Amino acid sequence: MKTFFSWSGNKSHRIAKALADWLPCVVQALDPWISSKDIDRGSIWFNEIFDQLKGTNFGIVFITKENQDKPWLMFESGALSKGLTENRICTVLVDLNVRDIDAGSPLQQLNHTVLDRDGVLGLVKTINKKLDSGQLQEKRLEQTFNAMWPDLEAKIEEILSNDPAPKTPERNDKDVLNDILENVLRIEKRVSLRSRNQGRWIEPHHAKTLIKQLVKMDNDRGDVLEAIDGLIPTLWAKRQLVQYFGQDPEDIEDIEDVEDDEDSTIN
């Protein structure tokens, strides 16, 4: 299966080359293609890029903090998206997490791979399932992966350790809080919400994650309750906050009655 590796920048290129050399050892039917020069430096190989994209069956985009908004990475990702179904395009997040991808970026919609053992194993299994022929039995695939993984892991560690970490601009708590709230609301648009007398609450696991993050940002009880107002029932939230701040004497009676108050819980 012909697979197009999209990259931009030295770190992304080195990781892409490491995967291009390693993946066929695990999935023998894989045929990676990776350009040998960084297009962003001026070598614009239009004809070759287009020819390769036309014959591609699967695409992997190697994203770093520094290249995620590079024009040619976006161009290749867009071309892959037009030529392939969404489940045949994956990313490899080299030095960032999904939450670090710019809000509104089309890259957010792709299937993401974290650059660790479980993430790469998931990518390998996805590729194997998409093969038109030459698929490996999952047990044999995992055995091969386990035997080969230490070599790739060592190479990844070498690349990342020798590459200076990019400077990340400082962000104040308000910016981080806004990002958290925006991400929660974005998630909630994709899932079904429950109707309540007091409104439409976010799902319990999202609510717990949001509260935990707000507490980690050194917000006090009052700040947390103010931030989640309208998203989470107040009494339910107060009960969750007990594990972080202890019992508030003023809330004891309300919290004891919370199980009997249908509008105060999202469980």
- Judgement on whether residues 68 and 146 belong to the same structural domain of the protein: yes
Is the Cβ–Cβ distance between 189 and 202 less than 8 Å?
no
- What CATH number is given to the structural domain containing 123? 3.40.50
> Mean pLDDT, consecutive 10-residue segments, the chain of 267 residues?
87 93 93 68 55 78 86 73 68 88 76 91 92 88 95 94 61 55 52 43 78 81 81 86 82 53 50
- Judgement on whether residues 234 and 192 belong to the same structural domain of the protein: yes
Q: What residue has token string 């190697």?
A: 62
- Judgement on whether residues 178 and 108 belong to the same structural domain of the protein: no
Structural domain contains residue 168: no
- Judgement on whether residues 134 and 12 belong to the same structural domain of the protein: yes
Structural domain contains residue 154: yes
Structural domain contains residue 167: no
pLDDT attached to residue 134: 82
- Judgement on whether residues 128 and 15 belong to the same structural domain of the protein: yes
CA distance 58 to 5: 9
pLDDT attached to residue 73: 77
Structural domain contains residue 60: yes
Listed residues 141, 162, 183: the one ending a domain? 162
Number of separate domains in the chain: 2
- Judgement on whether residues 100 and 146 belong to the same structural domain of the protein: yes
- Judgement on whether residues 23 and 93 belong to the same structural domain of the protein: yes
- Judgement on whether residues 213 and 260 belong to the same structural domain of the protein: yes
Structural domain contains residue 34: yes
Distances in Å between the Cα of 44 and the Cα atoms of 37, 67, 238 are 9, 17, 58
pLDDT attached to residue 179: 58
pLDDT attached to residue 178: 58
- Judgement on whether residues 138 and 49 belong to the same structural domain of the protein: yes
Three-class SS of the chain: CEEEEECCCHHHHHHHHHHHHHHHHHCCCCEEEECCCCHHHCCCCHHHHHHHHHCCCEEEEEECCCCCCCHHHHHHHHHHHHHCCHHHEEEEECCCCHHHCCCCCHHHHCEEEECCHHHHHHHHHHHHHHCCCCCCCHHHHHHHHHHHHHHHHHHHHHHHHHCCCCCCCCCCHHHHHHHHHHHHHHHHHHCCCEEECCEEECCHHHHHHHHHHHHHCCCCHHHHHHHCCCCCCHHHHHHHHHHHHCCCHHHHHHHHCHHHCHHHCCC
Could you tell me which residues are beta bridge partners of residue 128? Answer: none
Domain of 52 in residue numbering reads as 2-162
Listed residues 133, 162, 191: the one ending a domain? 162
Token pair recorded at residue 23: 């993946």
Structural domain contains residue 85: yes
Distances in Å between the Cα of 12 and the Cα atoms of 38, 46, 84, 201 are 10, 20, 22, 40
Listed residues 142, 162, 182: the one ending a domain? 162
